[in-house]
Amino acid sequence: MTIMQASNYHTYNEIKSQTEAWAQAIELVRGTSLPEAENYGQVLFTGCGSTYYLSRAASTLYQELTGRAARAVPGGELLFNSQTVLTSQRTLLVAISRSGTTTETVKAVEKFRREKRGDVLVISNYNEVLSRLADVNIVIDKGQEESVAQTRSFASMFVAADAVSARMAGRNELFGAMLELPQVGSRLIERYETLAMEVGSNLDFDRFYFLGSGSRYGLACEVNLKMKEMTLTHSEPFHFLEFRHGPMSMVNDKALVVGMLSDANRTHEAKVLSEMKMLGGAVLSLGERDADVSFASGLPETIRGVLYLPVLQLMAFYRSVTKGMNPDRPNNLTAVVKLDL
């Protein structure tokens, strides 16, 4: 497939143009009045599907930066099993939804507000019903998409969530460093698209494992979902060290193990990848330096998580097209999940 042919797909164009939405997300957070972290005993991040995985990544970063308890929970669990999630503490609920109309998330926020549990911060790409339930509202319209699978939207909302965390932690130097992310991201897409095409088009692989720890685990879950949605391929996410405890039995010469390397734990993570290669699997590493996809960003590790996404999104796109599928319209899926609740 040529680049010209790829541009016939919405998914491709949305992946390639996503850094514009990153930039908008940062500017919107810069201009938004945010609550004080010390006002809340806990912070909950919630969403469904991709935005639940976004919540997993964002909540770990929020806790790391602020030192205050944060966790992620699916919208449906917050709605139906809130007793397992909420405490008597005043809570900040960060509700994340591309469409702003996802049923479980909307209903969970409505219940949260009725019970006067705390405040609501909404991150979305559309100014819809969810936004009207918010005390603080961030709508990144440049992240809007024609495609069903989230790529540009996810990345834009993730950047916004990271920027919120940095600002609420009072880490102005981190927020300032985020201004460089769009330029670095555009350079990465340009440099590594060919690699994404080569790996994605290799149909000898029949299973994919995405490894990430810390805030990167939520991102591993998300790119695993993209591989499932767009290509109908066996794919699973794991924390790095957990992969040794059973799942590595699935590694063979048809497996690709993708590792999202950190700076702090790189030695241990790289060792896992080396072991998987010895078992016959292929390995693709991403990280700041000395990786198959090297960011070379010079940015602090805490705010560069979004850089793991574009190349892996392109990999899923190219696999989908190579398999003769339509990445814009994955099987059995709709862009918005609406339920009769």
Q: Looking at residue 5, what is its pLDDT?
A: 85
CATH topology of domain 3-178: Rossmann fold (3.40.50)
Residue 334: band (very low, low, confident or very high) from pLDDT cuts 50, 70, 90: low
Span 80-96, average pLDDT? 95
Question: pTM score, two decimals?
Answer: 0.96
Q: Supply the mean pLDDT for the chain.
A: 95
Tokens in use for 244?
A: 């040794």
For domain 181-322, which architecture applies? 3-Layer(aba) Sandwich (3.40)
Per-domain residue ranges for the chain?
Answer: 3-178, 181-322
DSSP H or E run through 85? none
Spatial separation of the C-alpha atoms in residues 240 and 256, rounded to whole Å: 14
User: Per-residue pLDDT tens for 37-60?
Assistant: 999 999 999 999 999 999 999 999
Q: Looking at residue 330, what is its pLDDT?
A: 77
Spatial separation of the C-alpha atoms in residues 121 and 337, rounded to whole Å: 21
Q: Looking at residue 332, what is its pLDDT?
A: 62
User: Per-residue pLDDT tens for 246-300?
Assistant: 999 999 999 999 999 999 999 999 999 999 999 999 999 999 999 999 999 999 9
C-beta separation of 79 from 112 below 8 A: no
Dihedral sign (CA 137, 141, 143, 146): positive
